[in-house]
Structure 1
């Protein structure tokens, strides 16, 4: 029997959109914290509450689309990921390198950042030490490659092994990679078994259980337990993802969420573009001496600049070549500009 896979759902765009907003919020807080104005304590608390779910949700959604992509053949699968993940990683790494060589900084355009002397060997770091915020594309492409290579092994086994490894690996980048691989592979397994996600989330007791576990995030933060890319946060992340999917499915068509769906459809554009405008906005807002104004100004500039680029792609489709490799004899269109993770 030939399996049928779900097409794109609006609830996925809603969740991607909210994830991107939370990413921008997180980065605005980090930039503000590097300045004398600092970040308000409540902002840090809110950021910690969202930390267990924010990136695991994004990779889980990416994993949900792996099976239908693989069903088209490994060449089309790998080619698609190279065009829409590896290619923009290389392009935006080049942009980051230009900024590094010209301004001698990384970690944003301005604001409390120590100069980094650029060496002739700096471009080689793109192969093993992603610049700026580009680590996510680097890791995501490797996730897609792993999913292709281990098709004969159940994704659940890969997820379990990754969770164990994440619990013992001391290096932060490696631990982050392994922890996110857990949720990517869970998404891959769900994509191989259409309907399972619906059955898992359908019982009312599951909703209450997810809510109860999610409340445990508050307790953990109060006890000072680190939940950012830590194996111990896996239950909190899973519960948060479950609640997020349930809520998004209930509200996916709401008019008030139209801007969020727009962000979700162009999540790649928003993720890549927001970094530098957000850092600039935070620096400008910090001039007021108010941490909240700095954070909100940074978020506003990051989201507005990204929205401007997303609309520019629609007006001038070749701009999309910054985000997706051009294909021979194919002219970019508005539909093709909507590449998300």
Structure 2
């Protein structure tokens, strides 16, 4: 789990390091980056949602008040803190309206997670295998694209919960043949996204919000999970570090990248290598520094709400889960 979470966080950092210079400073990157982004599009956020959903069963073992407090501390609090930081960084001409504080910018993931954990005690009353199907069905009929995305990712989140719930039964599929077959689906879907980026037109366009491709995405995520279980930990140390501290790197990277791009533009530096390179390096360096500085309460308060006597384990940090847990 740490490895895959680390991969997802790194891909998000790279994506925004490429997108923000083009958006804010008009600095385009080579076309190959568009193909890279297209290749990982079907898995980046769905995999992150599924991995977060796999933590739900453990969280629900808590009594209602500790459960609610934990999610307020680990999700609602940092969301509000970092939305405020975001507005300070971009400095809009007028104070943002209330709707501008809802699922803002890159923080939509944290917002969605907070809502999913809030409704989870009710949703889990439905059989674990059924809830993602119902949520995906709702995503197909709601008229608003934002609600479509909300319910679609809810399906991936509670799909992760189902995966964890039925993990004992699913162990029978942990074989080389199944792994290879699932990885073929993974690569085929990625290749299709790349072909679409290159101009190939499919009968039904490929996009994350298209429900018909959700089964292929789930199979692809399953293949990545099976593959990650086969990789020795000695090869994945940096990725596991990112995964264990994903909340820090996720929250920090976007404002840092905005600042980097703005400073380079102000200095009339337009090389894409500089924008993308520093856009990746700066968040990783600052994020690592903040991980170390979390031992100080004032820094830790950027990522979890201070609360006397409360545990600092949060919904985004998969402590206690090992290779043998699955």
TM-score (norm: length of structure 1): 0.81
Aligned to 2:217: 237
Residues 249-294 of structure 1 show CA distances to partners (whole Å, capped at 9, x for unaligned) of 222511x422211111110111101111123334566755443442
Q: Is the 8 A contact 1:159 1:186 kept in 2?
A: yes
Q: Is the 8 A contact 1:156 1:186 kept in 2?
A: yes
Structure 1: gaps spanning 5 or more residues: 1-11, 105-116
Q: Is the 8 A contact 1:320 1:337 kept in 2?
A: no
Partner Cα distance (2:46, 2:20) in 1: 22
Q: Is the 8 A contact 1:166 1:230 kept in 2?
A: no
User: Which residue, 122, 125, 140 being the options, matches 1:149?
Assistant: 122
Partner Cα distance (1:89, 1:273) in 2: 12
User: Which residue, 283, 293, 296 being the options, matches 1:302?
Assistant: 283
Residues 68-87 of structure 1 show CA distances to partners (whole Å, capped at 9, x for unaligned) of 22122233222211111111
1:196-215 superposed matches below 5 A: 196-200=169-173, 202-215=174-187
TM-aligned CA distance change 1:337 to 1:56, over 3 Å: closer
Residues 84-122 of structure 1 show CA distances to partners (whole Å, capped at 9, x for unaligned) of 11111122122223345xx22xxxxxxxxxxxx324xx2
User: Which residue, 74, 78, 86 being the options, matches 2:64?
Assistant: 74
Residues 193-237 of structure 1 show CA distances to partners (whole Å, capped at 9, x for unaligned) of 34234334x133322321222232213441343323332331332
2:149 maps to 1:167: no
How many residues are treated as equivalent by the alignment?
307
Aligned to 2:251: 272
Residues 104-151 of structure 1 show CA distances to partners (whole Å, capped at 9, x for unaligned) of 2xxxxxxxxxxxx324xx252256x33231111110011112211223
Aligned to 1:311: 292
> Which range moves more in the overlay, 20-29 or 88-97?
88-97
Aligned to 2:43: 53
Partner Cα distance (1:233, 1:33) in 2: 29
TM-score (norm: length of structure 2): 0.84
Partner Cα distance (1:23, 1:177) in 2: 19
Q: Offset at 1:302? A: 1.7
Aligned to 1:325: 305
Residues 15-65 of structure 1 show CA distances to partners (whole Å, capped at 9, x for unaligned) of 111110011111112212213221221101110110110111111111111
Q: Is the 8 A contact 1:96 1:131 kept in 2?
A: no
Q: Offset at 1:338? A: 10
Residues 277-322 of structure 1 show CA distances to partners (whole Å, capped at 9, x for unaligned) of 12333456675544344222211112111111111113x2441111
Partner Cα distance (1:92, 1:230) in 2: 30
Q: CA RMSD in A?
A: 2.5
Aligned to 2:12: 23
TM-aligned CA distance change 1:306 to 1:249, over 3 Å: same
Q: Offset at 1:155? A: 3.1
Aligned to 1:5: none
Partner Cα distance (1:64, 1:245) in 2: 12
Partner Cα distance (1:232, 1:51) in 2: 15
Structure 2: gaps spanning 5 or more residues: 319-326
Q: Offset at 1:336? A: 5.5
Report the 3-state secondary structure (helix = DSSP H, G, I; strand = E; otherwise coil) of the residue aligned with 2:301.
helix
TM-aligned CA distance change 1:325 to 1:289, over 3 Å: closer
Partner Cα distance (2:123, 2:115) in 1: 12
User: Which residue, 260, 279, 289 being the options, matches 1:281?
Assistant: 260
Q: Offset at 1:329? A: 4.0
TM-aligned CA distance change 1:57 to 1:239, over 3 Å: same
TM-aligned CA distance change 1:233 to 1:276, over 3 Å: same
